[in-house]
Structure 1
């Protein structure tokens, strides 16, 4: 490893995802985990969500019949996580189509194109709005100027792993650089089949071009398309309806998803400490899992995940140095979210939602031993109303190697368009068979009050660093989808489900990340999190007659789910070792206590080991690498959806593949 790389690893890096100002971690107002390109490769991850097993406090599971999900401090209910903001080069991955959450199946980025990932562990609504309720994942792609040439790679393995990657980079005239990427992935997924089928196919086409317009102006253009196909439904899902023949209400079928995007980012530099950025992005999401139901004389088509989500967003940000001891980043944004769904927004056509924001972050360093950060943001949502999110952080630099951080903040999370305006019903033969869901226009927003204490140690002589975060996160008016038709002995299917505020939750604990480079050829990462959650039902929720909560056993299940929606203890370790003959070896270990992703299923306690052995080579003008990757090296284990009827859940079996990369 080069000397400058070793210094970068041991020294606390510079990050920009917390306050929108480039800051040393020791000056940032909350905890951040930085995942660089070497860590991504050494982890052996094939899917992006797998990388976050290396971040303390994060949970994830493989992409199966349910799309992969990533959550921080639990509460990962629903098909798509909705409390952690995900950005790619500043563009939000939240989709109005997918429940206001992130669809990891069509995240439009290739692992080889990622320069680094900055993970903000803690709320950052001040900088990125209500979707950053519990944290931020900021994915920063590599500069096209560094990717000139042609790169080809392929992977073949068991479970029908067949992956292909193509990347071409070069100049555009005298002042431009481009990077074009094509990626295709395929696998047959998990092989244990209880009542489901698992396979996955994805394809990505991505182009980024950077232009230097003048000595002060630059333009970044990004556009592309990501698509994925997986299987949803259940085997043997026949349902009986009085007066009608048996109907397959959830057949095995393809779920087709597509993400199309364009982004323009213009930047003008006024001085070394001052610049202006203007960003416009357009995102279009489409999804379909259409299936037909036939009854005598008629045929009906249902498309539960369709139809379309469209987002336009404009953002302006100005950063400036106000004095020798103060810097400010402020700005404003506006976006329009459009959603059309024949299933969940029946009869409403394209529903629009406007969100506008004004934000600012001030860093103040009057003396060497102190850094203060003050941030505030106002957000107005045409469905959720106006909310103000403040943050205050004080960092005390005890000496050059040790920093103590104290911080408080408040954030709000607005619900999805469907939660406010949804209208989903099953009507057969002009008869209402099932009133699936009804939106609640008067929904409150979830509120989060956070108090945290952090410690950062940067011991350069030992080439080691330690980041510790103690936190208390209190969530008020936690929103949850409940069934309004279970109070009677025979469920009333004419009463719809609805999203309502049901609980106040207190999440507290401690987490840390430790990095160490004891030798030039050895790097070690260790992460652990210890968390607890206490939940108290709201009197208004318990008073909903005929609801899920009116049934004591159902209420107990929801309470247990909330308090166990994160593992009490989770750990991860990554060892990166250079071996003789130029070989690169890495092994990752993951240990996780029991947790629950849904009220009726669990993820049992498990441990997992992934390993990778790579041989980089160079021959004349050709460079490349040959590698073997093995996931779940220690054998089969369950990570998701074990239940009374299916105690094994989704069994993750050993998966291995060979990879070859050639760079010209």
Structure 2
């Protein structure tokens, strides 16, 4: 078990876990995602929510981002015409959520193409392959780099050695739900194991509301293998590909004399319907070597490639040029290709009896091509190197100290240094209090530094040819001198584990200060800049967007997570979060009411989640999950009112003649319709209606 890596070793976690079968989720007290050392929750330097396979099934989610509704302080919404986001403590204005690090088997899912964020539509993992998820609630740049600004989601997949035979499952339901999953596992020779998964997912999305449409289609194939090279060495190889398609665009509208919008016929020429095609291809190799008791070394290489395309022609009737003609141009905002090569080494050992230490380093090489956001540029490259270390010190039974630090050099963003320190005081076997402080940084996406987007007439799109050297408008430009976003965190934590009542309570009280929150703003461009960025010659430019520091932000709050198993057949989980965000604009920055309001309302003042898992007579499994989410604002132009949502699942595992499987019924939003996302100026929400489906799974 010691050979399994700290980040990937679900089996090692199980082996270290407490053996008391009566303890609620007895396998959960060991986590590896905070310091890269396997630690009991009572020794960890951050609050962690662990979601295992049984919980994932009980939650009744089809989409991975839906799972994180159960985590205190986390926010998400259903996939629709806007890219799904998973955020923690607000700051939700950017697409693809660039402040929470997402890992799959240790491999970062941040994409150079998708604004250095996470594209949940093309995440290369099937929900059925997830063994457990460790969610670090709080900054963790010390362990995982600058993208772990507010938190970390570490997704650990099933070990191939635990998968045998063939299993087939399908979901069939309303709203076009039609999913199929095939998984095969077995041995490769005498020392190897493999797991192969193929999955197709389809749905017609949320019910069409007024002027938009929604749908989702994806296909995924993954192969994971593991080989014992010797009694001390293991090699894991994985490769996979996923492609997904969503629909973008709007129907054409007009406004009547009373200011009410109505459909005026046809598609909106400025935003016509088109497919947004996305894909991700990856491969990873991980070598691990046991060096002795409590010591090991691992070396990991990974490659990922993202592609996207939503190419379409826009006719903008509000912009006129050249004898009052409509502006016609080609658009492909998220079109292009992004790649990432990453090498990482990690060494774990115990320098003294009372200490454990993990250290390592990594090198990342990114490239991105985009005809839209890198207008006139060739491939842009980016290099990032980092060194990290975490020390656990236990001088006495009543005290655990954690000290960590990381330094990073980015060829676009420059250098940063992130420290963290925490002290855990074990009042007794059941009660622990924790004090911690940290500083971290977030670097921008490649486009934020070198981006270049223009809007120009296009002869290929049917417009009149543009005069040589002239560009109509500059839409976005990158700032090579953009500073790094900083966060300073102070927190108090309490963890109670009461075996005699089979219950636990995790409390986090926090204050997070960001002195230089980065946002996109607009300003007029001098013609000299426009000409340099576009073509030599004349250039007409009203304004352009760019990323810069404009706000000081303070996030304060309290959250807790309570688990209880009152009976062997009953498990309960309750989580709540209270969050208050305040902001002030930096000196010299004009007050912007929209940005100020969006920042303050980017997290609900309160939210609650509840999960009941109940075993019923006859072998039935029942679960009920509920969410209460206060009003908030996702971006400057989108918001959500307070809503309640309840989902339920009833499953029957069976074993007939040696054939094992399950038949289940899942229903989401059983309490009625509600909105979870609304764009300003639109007459209706993306309404979440009752969605239900039947699942049938059989193991052959």
TM-score range, shorter chain: over 0.9
Query: How is 1:301-450 mapped onto 2 (pairs within 5 angstroms)?
Result: 301-428=330-457, 429-430=465-466, 431-450=470-489
What is residue 258 of structure 2 aligned with on the other side? none
Deviations 1:248-283 (A, max 9, x none): 222110000000000000000011200000000000
Given the alignment of the two structures, is residue 632 of structure 1 paired with residue 645 of structure 2, yes or no? no
Aligned equivalent of 2:574: 526
User: For the aligned residues, what is the CA RMSD?
Assistant: 2.0
Task: Check the 8 A contact 2:24/2:564 in 1, yes or no.
Answer: no
User: Residue 489 of structure 1 corresponds to which residue in structure 2?
Assistant: none
Does the 8 Å contact 2:300/2:345 carry over to 1? yes
Q: For residue 558 of structure 1, what is the aligned residue in structure 2?
A: 595
Q: For residues 560 and 505 of structure 1, what CA distance do their matches in structure 2 show?
A: 12
- Could you tell me how far apart the structure 2 residues matched to 1:541 and 1:420 are? 20
Q: Where in structure 1 are there 5+ consecutive unaligned residues?
A: 239-245, 487-491, 543-548, 550-554
Q: How does 1:97-496 map to 2 (within 5 A)?
A: 97-236=113-252, 248-293=269-314, 301-428=330-457, 429-430=465-466, 431-484=470-523, 494-496=542-544
Equivalent in 625, 638, 653 of residue 689 of structure 2? 653
Q: Is this contact kept in 2: 1:10–1:460, CA < 8 A?
A: no
- In structure 2, the residue matched to 1:16 is 32
Assess, with a 3 A threshold, how the Cα gap between structure 1 residues 10 and 580 changes in structure 2: closer, same or farther: same
* Aligned partner of residue 42 in structure 1, secondary structure: helix
Does the aligned pair in 2 maintain the 1:11–1:465 contact within 8 Å? Answer: no
Q: Quick check: 1:64–1:199 contact (8 Å CA) kept in 2?
A: yes
Give, in whole Å, the separation in 1 of the partners of 2:372 and 2:21. 52
Would the alpha carbon gap of residues 223 and 169 (structure 1) be closer, same or farther in structure 2, given more than 3 Å must change? same
Cα deviations across residues 82-111 of structure 1 (Å, max 9, x unaligned)?
000000000000000000000000111111
2:259 aligned partner: none
**Residue 539 of structure 1: how far off its partner (Å):** 1.4
Partner of 1:508: 556
Q: Write the distance in 2 (CA, Å) between the matches of 1:68 and 1:12.
A: 28
Query: In the superposition, relative to structure 1, how do residues 52 and 5 fare at CA in structure 2: closer, same or farther (>3 Å)?
Result: farther
Count matched residues: 640
Structure 2: tracts of 5 or more residues without a match: 1-17, 255-266, 317-324, 458-464, 526-539
Displacement of 1:642:
4.7
Which whole-Å CA distance do the structure 2 matches of 1:475 and 1:330 have between them? 28
Is contact 1:122-1:134 (8 Å) kept? Answer: yes
Distance 2:54 2:130 in 1: 10
Task: After superposition, give the CA deviation of every residue in 1:144-181 in whole Å (9 maximum; x if it has no partner).
Answer: 11111100000100001000000000000000000000
Contact 1:237-1:251 at 8 Å conserved across structures: no
- Superposition deviation, residue 348 in structure 1: 1.2
- Secondary structure at the residue paired with 2:415? strand
Does 444-453 or 477-486 show the bigger shift?
Answer: 477-486
Q: Which residue of 2 aligns with 1:611?
A: 648
Contact 1:11 1:458 in 2 (8 A): no
Deviations 1:611-656 (A, max 9, x none): 000000001220000000000010100001253x325321101100
Specify the SS of the correspondent of 1:541: coil
Structure 2 residue aligned with 1:545: none
Note the C-alpha offset of 1:297. Answer: 13
Query: Does the 8 A contact of 1:284 with 1:310 survive in 2?
Result: yes
> What is the alpha-carbon distance in structure 1 between the residues aligned to residue 272 and residue 679 of structure 2?
21
1:432 Cα deviation from its structure 2 partner: 2.8
Question: Which has the higher mean CA deviation after the structures are superposed, 476-485 or 146-155?
Answer: 476-485
Could you tell me whether the CA contact under 8 Å between 1:169 and 1:178 is conserved in 2?
Answer: yes
What is the SS of the residue equivalent to 2:175?
coil
Task: Check whether the contact 2:24–2:563 (CA below 8 A) recurs between aligned residues.
Answer: no
Structure 1 residue 298, shift from structure 2 partner: 12
TM-score by length of structure 2 reads 0.89
Q: Provide the rounded CA distance (Å) in 1 between the counterparts of 2:202 and 2:362.
A: 38
Relative to structure 1, the CA distance from residue 12 to residue 337 in structure 2 (aligned partners, 3 Å threshold; closer, same or farther) is same
The superposition leaves residues 561-603 of structure 1 with CA deviations (integer Å, 9 ceiling, x where unpaired) of 1001000000000000000110000000000000110112211
Give the SS at the match of 1:597.
strand
> For residues 525-556 of structure 1, what are the alpha-carbon distances to aligned partners after superposition, in whole Å with 9 as ceiling and x for unaligned?
000000001101011322xxxxxx5xxxxx11
Aligned to 1:540: 588
Cα deviation 1:342-361 (Å, max 9, x = unaligned): 00011111100100000000
Task: Give the secondary-structure state (helix, strand or coil) at the position aligned to 1:62.
Answer: coil
Classify 1:432/1:249 alpha carbon distance in 2 versus 1 (closer, same or farther; 3 Å). Answer: farther
What secondary structure sits across from 1:38 in the alignment? helix
Q: Secondary structure at the match of 1:330?
A: strand
Distance 1:589 1:297, change over 3 A: closer
Equivalent residue for 2:9?
A: none
Residues 269 and 315 of structure 2 are in contact (CA less than 8 Å); yes or no, is this contact kept in structure 1? no
**What SS does the corresponding residue of 2:101 show, helix, strand or coil?**
strand
| Structure 1 SS opposite 2:81 | coil
CA contact (8 A) 1:82 1:100 kept: yes
